[in-house]
Structure 1
């Protein structure tokens, strides 16, 4: 290999890792082939705040998902109503339900809609319209997710709590399911700069409060989850960054913990039990939970994305300033040169690795997902160019061969969302992506070849 080629490769990708093997000669980042683009709606809510829309934000877990052969998505329409759409895969038309008994007056892009589907009873759960405010939630009748009937009558009334615990000041509802079919919900109580993460569980048609699992208020800060999800061996993995004040410039560091018992007790990276939900929760900024140092004033974006592959390796997509860039106390300015960074935990060794990619992120956030062969796919936006990008990396290369596989025309905005279940089970990359202006939302389908 010539010196010039080596220099080009070094410029394209900088890898910082511990014991990372050399790139195999046969490794190649996965490719994607366009299948179709369908229009989910042409009447999406157009209010723009925090450089995003109420439809399409990285912390929507989930904004688009597949269950039992059907794909589901949700969006706010311009009139302020929750809409839930579904289609039969692989190519059915979208069927929409408009829920008109609740109307938002919010224009805040934090007030998104998250979908949870309980495998045990086929109920569909919606959490929506909450940013440091009262919880809003509704669920469907049992079996709706497996029924051919799809009408508004299948959904129950709006509720303001799940149990007898207060949910007066909450944000960022995130649903996730245990392999045994149990549905859970993580949500922040409190506000930016001083808040906690709490856990609920849905079984036998009833929600139960499990308790607080990350304590931020004691330390006058809050944890922002990159993600929380189970692996195939029923281990629950959570990663987060910490914010010290409401100023995003105070975001710092990468933290990690996992649970073997549905979030009742928590272990640090080494596997030692260090916390019990409800009585002695995880300290948000504990040095014993920090797995990578990222200083303040590095333009670190909170709540980007996390995924766990079939082998149990944890992958975190973050974005912040490159290593050689000076720190910047102006978060907005720092984001203009922020790049996507891949962090991963090797299950066998428990070692964490960091790979800088050459991809600019700016003020949007990306979503990271995995296929059945443990290859990685990222859908990322660029608020400056209004272009959507698809980047991939192969398991064979230890995820070092990051490559842009698609760049869209300058028509998209806000955060793209990937249907994680469909990619993992059907090798189809489905991306929920709002167009600039907010009224039209596309769902792009790509055949993924790893």
Structure 2
């Protein structure tokens, strides 16, 4: 989004410093949910979906491979009636490399997860699933992290259920896995009929409403043996916020407390985008017998090192983030934070830009200078 809040795609050859800007017919307000998703298909066409929070489809596709000047807005992707209240657009790759698009249809506390798949030959989208992946039954909705493709060649997803738009109503950490994004199962291989509901879901940890768990901070990672793990946070018995990991072992999920913080309680409440005090990352193997769990607490990166066999904490130490590394070379005005996004393709390219922190999707005063 440019200085006038207009959705913009910038492009340049790798060997040049000259940027070309293509302005698109969409303008953002103050809603921090309205992020941008972009990808290229196997034919080199650029796909952009953006600026949606319970909004009709905002989606563009190029007509000439790699040429952002040919981006054209598409009024319908797969089915118009399911594209009127869209949020959380994500492009990903299926088991055979197919381009997949997922999003939430509906609102917070009442929404369903929809998956579409793209046919490069016909340049058309269709539903990947004949039914939503999950169904809140008109009473709740699921907030997902994933799918994440693991070393076992399975796609893993973790999610919380949320009763209302109020952040404190998240509950019941859940999990599912799939080989093809179509047929889903529990960790023990038991098939899950779709749509998955609260009653049929595999519950990893029955965290209650107001239990200190929040959506988007239920992140999938893997241990040195390739087993899936979930990093999340919740309140401990004393009411402090703590970091936890979950790992499927034998016939049950093992829950291990990672942090041992005293006097720290993130008691989030209400709707809109929160100025989050915690961000968690998925578990990462370190050698054959260690696991690293990285978090950011009140803007400070922290690395936990765990024993891979017992999940016991070995150490807690200050970590590092790309934002901290770049901060000395990028001017960040007072009151702003430096955001970063690294290229998912592993090119080593990243974007960095300072903004005001989330403000529950309301205007900030005074407006920042251009």
TM-score range, shorter chain: 0.7 to 0.9
TM-score normalized with structure 2 length: 0.74
The alpha-carbon deviation at position 354 of structure 1 amounts to: 3.1
**What residue in structure 1 maps to residue 55 of structure 2?**
133
Q: Which residue pairs with 1:351 in the alignment?
A: 253
The match for 2:269 is none
Give the distance between the partners of 1:289 and 1:251, measured in 2 at CA.
16
Q: CA RMSD in A?
A: 3.7
Residue of structure 1 equivalent to 2:38: 115
Counterpart residue number, 1:6: none
* Alpha-carbon displacement from aligned partner over 1:374-403 (angstroms, at most 9, x marks no partner): 754636363xxxx35253546757584443
**Offset of residue 85 of structure 1:** 5.1
Residue equivalent to 1:63: none
Picking from 195, 215, 228, the partner of 1:281 is 195
Give matches, 1:418-429, under 5 Å. 419=343, 421-422=345-346
Could you say if the C-alpha distance between residues 344 and 121 of structure 1 is closer, same or farther in structure 2, counting changes exceeding 3 Å?
Answer: farther
Distance in 1 (CA, whole Å) between partners of 2:304 and 2:21 is 36
Quote the Cα distance in structure 2 between the aligned partners of 1:197 and 1:411.
36
**Does 2:214 align with 1:290?**
no
Aligned length: 328
Alignment partners' CA distance in 1, 2:146 and 2:132: 14
Specify which of 64, 68, 77 is matched with residue 162 of structure 1.
77
CA 183–369 in structure 1, closer or farther in 2 if over 3 Å, else same: farther
Q: 1:177 to 1:348 in 2, by over 3 A?
A: farther
Pick the aligned partner of 2:181 from 238, 246, 263.
Answer: 263
Quote the residue 2:301 is aligned against.
Answer: 389
**Which range is displaced more, 120-129 or 313-322?**
313-322
Q: Is the 8 A contact 1:389 1:405 kept in 2?
A: yes
DSSP 3-state at the match of 1:270: coil
SS of 1:106 mapped into structure 2 = coil
Structure 1 CA distance for aligned equivalents of residues 92 and 343 of structure 2:
13
Q: SS at the partner of 1:213?
A: coil
Higher relative contact order (CA 8 A, sep 6+): 1
How far does residue 133 in structure 1 lie from its aligned partner after superposition?
Answer: 1.1
Matched, 1:186 2:102: yes
Cα distance in 1 for residues equivalent to 2:24 and 2:280: 32
Q: 1:77 to 1:315 in 2, by over 3 A?
A: farther
Q: 1:344–1:313: structure 2 CA closer, same or farther, 3 Å change rule?
A: farther
2:159, 2:138 → 1: CA distance?
15
User: How many angstroms does 1:302 deviate by?
Assistant: 0.9
Q: Structure 2, unaligned stretches of length 5 or more?
A: 267-274, 328-333, 358-367
Partner of 1:238: 157
Cα 1:156/1:311, change in 2 over 3 Å: farther
